[in-house]
Amino acid sequence: MLLQGSLTALITPMRADGSLDEEAFRRFVEWQVAEGTEGLVPVGTTGESPTLSHEEHRRVVEICIEVARGRVPVVAGAGSNSTAEAIALTRHAKEAGADAALVVTPYYNKPTQEGMFLHFSAIADAVDLPVIIYNIPPRSVVDMSPETMGRLARHPNIAGVKDATANLARPLHQRRECGEGFIQLSGEDHTALAFMAAGGHGCISVTSNVAPRLCAEMHRAWREGRLADAMAIQDRLVPVHDALFSETSPGPVKHAASLLGHGTAHCRLPLAPIAPATAARVESALRGAGLLN
């Protein structure tokens, strides 16, 4: 399985009443593929997985796979702080035809390193599907160590990590512990190029929801050794990254997507509508990067 370059952590478009907008999502996924995105990640953090019902969660995964039609890999969000629930979501991802599952470290429960090892081992034992560990300490309150990741990397179904620590020493240590074949994807748009310079393979991106072509071109330029081109795109996108994370994600990126005609800006509670100043900052950043006329 080849996971590299720019993968989009997809928003879940919703109508003004908060219901899923399946047609908007279909159009959005098709647009992502057409713009050159190299992988799709439905129902992660950016897809508001915490506030989707299980039925909605499964539906979003199914639609994404259906529209993608094998043109790019689909890494389905399947995490939970309940191991049994994570196994069920991962099993559904496999049955639906996903190429891999993205499984977050268990939030709220605060498991030890051994608890995390047992959690991911149980999922990988139960479902024959590549698992990408999603390590995001700011949201989950636990941080998987490189040593624990190295233990898990020996399992044939543990394929890689989405690293949202923003610690650029991590990919170096994870490469030593897990081996060169272990897929390392940045979970922080600001660090995408630096992460690849430290041994990473790509980025699961929020910004690529609204700048899919630019993000994909940046990664291709990097792989082709066109470092000046890659850095020029990075410089162009930094104000967009800043704006999209100026309030809790996905509030700003859903507003940005709505400005581009991709659904409404609606996020489910407890995420509030973004502040007017944030909305203005997002619009200014999109215009500055040439993404909005």
Domain borders along the chain are: 5-224
Catalytic residue among 108, 110, 162, 254: 162
| Token representation of residue 120 | 């991911």
Q: What is the pLDDT of residues 22-53, one digit of tens each?
A: 999 999 999 999 999 999 999 999 999 999 99
Task: Tell me the C-alpha distance between 195 and 172, whole Å.
Answer: 9
Catalytic residue among 94, 110, 134, 254: 134
pLDDT confidence bin for 143, thresholds 50/70/90: very high
Cβ 130 vs Cβ 100: under 8 Å:
yes
Task: Tell me the C-alpha distance between 222 and 63, whole Å.
Answer: 31
| Token representation of residue 29 | 């996924």
Cβ 260 vs Cβ 24: under 8 Å:
no
pLDDT at 72 over 80: yes
Residue 158, helix vs strand vs coil: strand
pLDDT, position 2 = 81
134 labelled catalytic:
yes
What separation, in Å, do the N-terminal and C-terminal C-alpha atoms of the chain show?
38
Which residues, in sequence order, are CB contacts of 77 under 8 Å at separation 6+?
41, 42, 43, 44, 47, 49, 57, 61, 89, 101, 102, 104
Task: Tell me the C-alpha distance between 290 and 260, whole Å.
Answer: 12
Span 5-224 CATH architecture: Alpha-Beta Barrel (3.20)
Task: Tell me the C-alpha distance between 287 and 61, whole Å.
Answer: 32
| Token representation of residue 83 | 């191991």
100-104: strand order across its sheet: 39-41, 5-9, 202-205, 183-186, 158-163, 131-135, 100-104, 75-77
Q: What is the pLDDT of residues 194-244, one digit of tens each?
A: 999 999 999 999 999 999 999 999 999 999 999 999 999 999 999 999 999
